[in-house]
Amino acid sequence: MALSFILLSVFGVVSFTLLAILSSKQETKTQERILRALGQGEITDEEDIRPLSERMLRPMLQQFARILTRWTSKGQREQTTAKLSAAGLSGQWEEAEWKGLQYALSVLLSLLIFVSFTFMDSGLLTSFEMGSIGFLIGYLFPNSWLKAKAKQRQKEIQRMLPNVLDLLTVSVEAGLGFDAAVLKVVEKQKGALAEEFLRVLQEIKMGRPRREALRDLAKRNKPAEDLSNVVASLVQADQLGISIGGVLRNQAKQIRQKQRQRAEEKAQKAPVKMMIPLVFFVFPSIFIIVIGPAVIQIIEMFK
């Protein structure tokens, strides 16, 4: 058991280290890209030095991923790409590299569990079965982590959206163009939504039409329904020549109303969700405290 615990601990350290590589410098890189886009950042010699993970881990995963992509269907690749986009990792990790990391963790955990049960003299069949279970766990763990990160990021976007729309509205009504107003948002705000708007600005500067850049923004963050509605309204206003300031103000008002309704809905669901722990954990304790002494007295009286 001690050997098994040590091996599982090694796997936990390795897996969390690998996943930490994905997000450790994500926020700093985002801020650096924002500063460079605004002309406030300079590339130094330290920035040109790639970390150890970029020089060793990434090439290994790329070679491993080239082999895996031969047996991966197009639908699975598209799903993985969509998940990476929703999590904000599409610019840092490709679909093939993520698959390589996923299979590498699966094989690592499978071997660790197989070796640990082999040293415990559990039998070859039992070791093989536990190794298969470890492979499945190692395969599902990165997907679970990616799904949780994407969900957290989309919640952050929905939470920041009303304030960002207010800032856009004030900037547009003050006389700035839409692109200049978006640039002001990138300067003043931080987080996932500022990063997405920065990407929109970069695409527009490269010559891409504003409508296509906004549609791609909604496509990358498809789980965020409020952002998709805002983008659809902006595209329609651009096509029909409607004032963007009024559209932004109405969208900010509607989104705040939706968020209030969601909060009220969660508050109404709370009593129903509390019934399960009350019935199975709280009520039995109360019954034991209230009825227990009477039951003991009745038993002693019959004795």
CATH number for position 196: 1.20.81
State residue 71's pLDDT score.
64
The residue that leads in pLDDT, 189 or 56, is 189
Whether residues 84 and 103 fall in one domain: yes
155, pLDDT greater than 50? yes
State percent of the chain over pLDDT 70.
75
Q: What is the CA radius of gyration of the chain?
A: 27
Binned at pLDDT 50, 70 and 90, residue 47 comes out as very low
Cα–Cα dist 19/108, whole Å: 14
Whether residues 211 and 160 fall in one domain: yes
Task: Provide mean pLDDT across the span 120-144.
Answer: 82
Task: Provide mean pLDDT across the span 117-145.
Answer: 82
Specify if 130 maps to a domain: yes
Cα–Cα dist 300/303, whole Å: 5
Into how many domains does the chain fold? 2
Instruction: Quote the DSSP letter at residue 71.
Output: G
Strand, helix or coil at 278? Answer: helix
Whether residues 65 and 82 fall in one domain: yes
Q: Which domain holds residue 84?
A: 2-23+48-152
Binned at pLDDT 50, 70 and 90, residue 42 comes out as very low
Binned at pLDDT 50, 70 and 90, residue 70 comes out as low
Please state the φ and ψ torsions of residue 209, each to the nearest 5 degrees: -60, 145
Specify if 238 maps to a domain: yes
Cα–Cα dist 172/181, whole Å: 6
Binned at pLDDT 50, 70 and 90, residue 208 comes out as confident
State residue 216's pLDDT score.
87
Average pLDDT of the chain is 77
Residue ending a domain, among 125, 152, 179, is: 152
The residue that leads in pLDDT, 69 or 130, is 130
Specify if 236 maps to a domain: yes
Strand, helix or coil at 121? Answer: coil
State residue 262's pLDDT score.
87
State residue 44's pLDDT score.
45
State residue 59's pLDDT score.
67
Strand, helix or coil at 162? Answer: helix
> Tens of pLDDT along 162-193?
888 888 888 888 888 888 888 888 888 888 88
Task: Provide mean pLDDT across the span 67-95.
Answer: 73
Whether residues 147 and 187 fall in one domain: no
Whether residues 10 and 105 fall in one domain: yes
Using alpha carbons, select from 140, 165, 160, 150 the residue that is nearest to residue 222: 150
State residue 45's pLDDT score.
42
Whether residues 59 and 120 fall in one domain: yes
Task: Provide mean pLDDT across the span 259-276.
Answer: 88
23, pLDDT greater than 80? no
294, pLDDT greater than 70? yes
303, pLDDT greater than 80? no
Whether residues 193 and 163 fall in one domain: yes
Q: pTM (2 decimals)?
A: 0.67
Binned at pLDDT 50, 70 and 90, residue 235 comes out as confident
Cα–Cα dist 121/288, whole Å: 46
Residue 68, class by beta-carbon neighbours within 10 Å (0-12 exposed, 13-18 middle, 19+ buried)?
A: middle
| DSSP string covering 213-277 | HHHHHHHHTTT-HHHHHHHHHHHHHHHHT--HHHHHHHHHHHHHHHHHHHHHHHHHHHHHHHHHH
Whether residues 115 and 212 fall in one domain: no
State residue 8's pLDDT score.
54
The residue that leads in pLDDT, 64 or 192, is 192
Whether 65 contacts 97, CB under 8 Å: yes
Compute CA distances 257 → 15, 117, 161, 252, whole Å.
Answer: 41, 56, 13, 9
147, pLDDT greater than 60? yes
> Tens of pLDDT along 157-166?
888 888 888 8
Contacts with 110 (C-beta within 8 Å, 6 or more apart), sequence order: 131, 132, 134, 135, 138
Residue ending a domain, among 152, 173, 205, is: 152
Whether residues 7 and 143 fall in one domain: yes
Token pair of 48 as six digits = 């040109």
Whether residues 143 and 96 fall in one domain: yes
Cα–Cα dist 97/60, whole Å: 9
Specify if 15 maps to a domain: yes
254, pLDDT greater than 80? yes
